[in-house]
Chain A
Amino acid sequence: MDLNKPKTIVDKIWKKHLVHQEEGKPDLLYIDLHLVHEVTSPQAFEGLRLNDRKVRRPDLTYATMDHNVPTKNRDVIKDQIAQTQMETLRKNCEENGIKLADMHHPDQGIVHVIGPQLGLTQPGKTIVCGDSHTSTHGAFGALAFGIGTSEVEHVLATQSIWQERPKTMNVQVEGDLGPGVTAKDLILAIIAKFGVRFGTGYVLEYTGAAVRKLSMEGRMTVCNMSIEAGARAGLISPDETTVDFLRGKEYVPDGKAFDEVAEEWLELATDDGALYDETVTINAAEIEPQVSWGTNPGMCVPVSGATPNLNNVEHREDVERALDYMGLKENQPITSIEIDHVFIGSCTNSRLSDLQKAASIVKGKQVKTGVRAIVVPGSFSIKLQAEKEGLDTVFKQAGFEWREAGCSMCLAMNDDIVPPGGRCASTSNRNFEGRQGNGSRTHLVSPEMAAAAAIEGHFVDVRNYSELVS
């Protein structure tokens, strides 16, 4: 590699982590951080035991419980199989000396929320987890991607992974997001514009003025949904915003050591003039609040829009199937769609600023009769902080349920389920058939849009919501 040639952040991280390289084969990359949760790890630990192998680097492995945990009453787990899965993780961590933030631990939370919160997630790291939303950590300029259980076992045993060098794509977001338009709307608009497969085989790097102006929370929301575009990973070059967020976190160094490492982080940013395999652009100023209408995250339109006209679509059968599943007609205005559930949470949108923004919308108002609305903070620590700020009171007075941290209704593995035929305004990341419960219908939106929908009982444009109600 030419030393003077401008490089992308992916080039730099890749080079630094190469363990072995061979013509015609994927590269063997070292993994700096392996995050583990209860659902995709038991078979991996069992595989190690069967082959008499050990966890190579328990010190680079960190586990939590998030997918299955009850969010209402921690002491009552009705589901025995879920209980066994959590018990199994506890035993596996104990046997192998892996740190575990279990259900009652103060650091517990959604794995992609606590990594950054603890400062385990850092620029330049290679991070894997048996969960597709691992791309979230890319917000810090880490190369982070989801893996299957066989790969979890492989990383436990070898602290490395075989990876084909991905292509890189520059997703350039020019202009500014308008008031009331969020990071969630940005990523939904990107997926709606370019499709659910445009990222396949690529690592996406989000660049441009609008991305630079995003907070770390906003950047995590964007990178989180890279997988919904099919991408291997999504990331954002580190800058002062990244450094400021990490300063003082538990797992980053203090004082002078921090300043030194921060220098190194900033040098990871993609060099001016570095070449990408592909570039796409989108103008942030043109983006409206988004609402998904169908059964994949690309089936999404601006709130001022309507469901598709069947005469103007590709794959008509798939669109018809999606409309049918969702109980919607063609050309139906988005604001006419009535909802009966609201979920504010998930690794996409459960951070403190998400809760603050949603609370500011519902303050002093009441959830529409017939709507069940729940708020599930991303971690125990976020829950505490929110309570300190009185957000729990705001939500509860408005008629929301206030819960313990976990993945909850994003994938409905615990008791938090949308019933068959129920329709949910959800701040999560997937609107697949049955995702929030068998027969459930999911509309993906920002926390602000979800909060406003809870009050009105149907979708409204949050940009003029305050005028609307006054």
Chain B
Amino acid sequence: MEAIQEHKGLVFPLNRTNIDTDQIIPKQFLKRIERTGFGQFLFYHWRFDDDGQKRTDFELNQSKYNGASVLLAGENFGCGSSREHAPWALLDYGFQVVIAPSFADIFYNNALKNGIIPIIMDETQLNQWMKQAENSEFILDIDLEKQRIIAESGTEVSFDIPAYHKEKLLNGWDEIALTLQHEDKITAYEK
């Protein structure tokens, strides 16, 4: 996985709660055997109608969100299926950071394994950013090292992330290689 220290990008607000991984990437696109190429299917049935035409009523299709890379969403983001295709699709589409009041456990883990920064943020702050991003071009600068988010207006908000997750993201470490440093203990356990 790619190391990530900081990310500055255009914000896309998706003000819905309990966005499940079936919405993030519908099942008909889970049949590939690669990790790549899932971005085109992100939020597929929200972005496209039955004829494959872009839906004008889905905000992500508006040109002002072209190139968005920071996703804001409602509580319990990523609930449902364990499919890692969900973070693969987000990343492949261009989203590097997801900010929500809460995440489903499996999605949170899956995001971390792929170099997406999942940030838990209180709803009041988040709603304020949602409004700003709905009304005008809104950019957030996420500094993982310092655990703070800076808006263009200069306001700064700090966030929590467990130290071991942060370290892995900052360094882009291969978790299996890290685990294999404890291989003697695994072998001892097996005896």
Q: Give the residue of B74, B104, B164 whose beta carbon is less than 8 angstroms from that of A200.
A: B104
Alpha-carbon separation in the docked complex, A51 to B104 (Å): 30
Q: Give the residue of B45, B84, B164, B190 whose beta carbon is less than 8 angstroms from that of A40.
A: B84
Q: Is the CB of A315 within 8 A of B105?
A: no
Number of interface residues of B (CB under 8 A): 49
Task: Check A28/B185 contact, CB under 8 A, given A132-B82, A439-B50.
Answer: yes
List chain A residues, Cβ under 8 A from B174. Answer: 51
Alpha-carbon separation in the docked complex, A369 to B113 (Å): 50
Q: Is the CB of A430 within 8 A of B175?
A: no
Task: Check A132/B106 contact, CB under 8 A, given A430-B80, A432-B23.
Answer: yes
Q: List the B residue with the shortest CB-CB distance to A407.
A: B27
Tell me if A's interface is mostly helix, strand, loop or mixed. loop
Q: Is the CB of A68 within 8 A of B76?
A: no
Residue A150 at the chain B interface, CB threshold 8 Å: yes
CB proximity of A135 to chain B, nearest CB, Å: 11
Q: Is the CB of A157 within 8 A of B176?
A: yes
Task: Check A19/B189 contact, CB under 8 A, given A43-B35, A148-B106, A433-B45.
Answer: yes
Q: Is the CB of A434 within 8 A of B26?
A: yes
Q: Is the CB of B176 within 8 A of A82?
A: no
CB proximity of A155 to chain B, nearest CB, Å: 10
Q: Restricting to B102-133, which residues have a CB under 8 Å from any CB of A?
A: 102, 104-106, 109-110, 113-114
Alpha-carbon separation in the docked complex, A376 to B22 (Å): 22
Q: Is the CB of A28 within 8 A of B31?
A: no
Q: List the B residue with the shortest CB-CB distance to A60.
A: B190
Residue B157 at the chain A interface, CB threshold 8 Å: no
CB proximity of A187 to chain B, nearest CB, Å: 16
Task: Check A148/B31 contact, CB under 8 A, given A25-B164, A154-B175.
Answer: no
Residue B79 at the chain A interface, CB threshold 8 Å: yes
- The stretch from A158-166, A279-287, A449-457 touching chain B is A158-166
Task: Check A411/B27 contact, CB under 8 A, given A26-B164, A85-B33.
Answer: yes
List chain B residues, Cβ under 8 A from A56. Answer: 186
Alpha-carbon separation in the docked complex, A232 to B104 (Å): 9
List chain B residues, Cβ under 8 A from A242. Answer: none
Q: Is the CB of A162 within 8 A of B179?
A: yes
Q: List the A residue with the shortest CB-CB distance to B30.
A: A39
- The stretch from B2-10, B12-20, B63-71, B139-147 touching chain A is B12-20
Residue A118 at the chain B interface, CB threshold 8 Å: no
Alpha-carbon separation in the docked complex, A56 to B175 (Å): 16
Task: Check A24/B164 contact, CB under 8 A, given A132-B81, A160-B186.
Answer: yes
Q: Is the CB of A296 within 8 A of B18?
A: yes
Alpha-carbon separation in the docked complex, A151 to B107 (Å): 12
Q: Restricting to B75-103, which residues have a CB under 8 Å from any CB of A?
A: 75-76, 79-84, 87, 102
Q: Is the CB of B176 within 8 A of A153?
A: yes
Task: Check A53/B176 contact, CB under 8 A, given A151-B113, A411-B27, A413-B31.
Answer: yes
Q: Give the residue of A79, A130, A158, A412 whose beta carbon is less than 8 angstroms from that of B82.
A: A130
Task: Check A150/B179 contact, CB under 8 A, given A82-B31, A318-B18, A432-B20.
Answer: no
